[in-house]
Structure 1
Amino acid sequence: MELASCSFGQSSKVSYLQMITAVAAVVNGGRLMQPYLVAEIADADGQLLYHREPTVRRQVITPETSAVMRTLMEGVVTEGTGKNGAVAGYRVGGKTGTSQKLDSEDPAARIASFAAVAPIEEPKIAVLICLDEPHSWTTSGGALAGPVAAAVLEQALPHLGIAPSFTAEEQETLFAVVPDVTGWRTGAARQALAAAGFDAALVGEAERVQSQYPAAGITARKGSAVSLDTTGGYDPAADV
């Protein structure tokens, strides 16, 4: 049983720092880097007092395998369960995670997570978002943690001076603004989302949409799913 569960990661316990370090190694050509907190220290006059050079601990996969993994991780965001991790203008790679909790009294307890890397063609930043026992109608890492990772990248990439992966014309073709369909009948909501370029994922069987996720006004990649809650229950955006 342990051999079988090892194939999907349930025989190992790792910290979040270990996890994001592994993600970075997967996409950076296979080099396992030594994590550190402080890159530079400067005084009030701007004089550099300390500088830390990155340290490669060892090669864990080949550059060729790393290139394949970058392609697969981009597919998670463009075609798979991580569409909510998309960031307008940038090529993003991602991996969703929904893990059982070993030490919880609740057998249904989960950790929803999403690891994102951008720009995936030349990675500069990796983000890991983990939600511990989210109070939600879903425990999907892509649905819950994906939008949070996207929001972090949306702020961080321009701040770091990283140029967009796409031209303005390409962005107009690939991305769109999520329309507001709260209060609509589900059929009309589906049609409005389809017209804007999005898929609809219904939660519940009632006739009207009580809440939606991602929220209206968010820029998302065309083809990604907008979850429509018809139950009037939990709004995932409130806890995230």
Structure 2
Amino acid sequence: MMGPDVVVLDYGSGNVRSAVRALEHVGASVRLSADPAAVRDCAGLFVPGVGNFHACMAGLDAVDGPRLIDVRLAGGRPVLGVCVGMQVLFDGSIEPSDAPVAGIGEWPGMVSRLTAPVVPHMGWNSVAPPAGTRLFAGVEHQRFYFVHSYAARTWDLPVADGHMASQTPLVTTCDYGGSFVAAVENGPLSATQFHPEKSGAAGLRLLANWVRSL
């Protein structure tokens, strides 16, 4: 039996074959495509991101990616962004210069350069998922593979309370020269700053958790 239909958004962002293979390994039926109908109608959309923020936004704009992502989310259709594919979901970034570059704006806040003594942050690091996480179920205490110089340093969306508390986004953090946002679970929209497709068994488990939720 075929697994859920997942489209890896094809907008010129580096080598995405490892993401395709990893998603296939955990049971998804995967297409690499920027076809609007495929992007709109698939069970899950995977948004990769390799390179700098400005180049990724230019590539997304060229395939109408921001609108397609927004349309999916308006209909409650799942999206998973990875690395710069996570960063573009925020208001913007100061990469590659100090002049802000606008992002898609699904989440408030700006992406900025890490303040660690050694940048980029490259290699394995532990993360701190919150209680109730589904994305990290079974891998809450595992390490994941990061390659980045910029990140969302803070989470700026207000926390809901009362009867809306169940809708509060779940934010996972990591520490490298200070805390930064390592992952977010926000209804149909999820994202990771690390590369799950390069994170061995833990990354495959995380991708499997996402695919099973579709």
- Normalised by the length of structure 2, the TM-score is 0.25
Greater relative contact order, per chain length (Cα 8 Å cut-off, separation 6+) = 2
- Normalised by the length of structure 1, the TM-score is 0.23
Higher strand proportion (structure 1 or 2): 2
